[in-house]
Structure 1
Amino acid sequence: MWSEGYTFPAAAVRDEFRRVWPDGGDEYLRFCDVMEEHHREMRALGGRLLDVFFETLSGSPPTRSPPARQSGRSGIP
């Protein structure tokens, strides 16, 4: 099976997609909003899975602070 993809840093999602999709208009903005929401949700899910992993190994989750929340449209933690 053949697969190709485009990888970009999460913090630069809007700049990268503007470069790839210069005339996207409202579709571009909606797409970037969805990608940023997806990234936030995946980070949260990854944190929960890591807690389950450590709890399984040691019997209790490690103490760690929640990720810092950043404001602004391009501020992705």
Structure 2
Amino acid sequence: MTPEHLPTEQYEAQLAEKVVRLQSMMAPFSDLVPEVFRSPVSHYRMRAEFRIWHDGDDLYHIIFDQQTKSRIRVDSFPAASEL
């Protein structure tokens, strides 16, 4: 998954998975059902870390892959807030 290709069509499934994971983590302490507040499918991120990178005369933003630490070029970021 790259920042330009966020799996917005999987939002509901990902949210449901997070709720199940949270409930299982909290089960030893409480059997309450969490109240879920949905985010917009896009333009929800208020913070993100980017770097400016260049190859010769080409200048662009990058992020780093969390697993491999390899650079990922970012030309658009639909998760970013529109503010």
Category of TM-score, reference length = shorter chain = 0.3 to 0.5
Structure ranking higher in strand proportion:
2
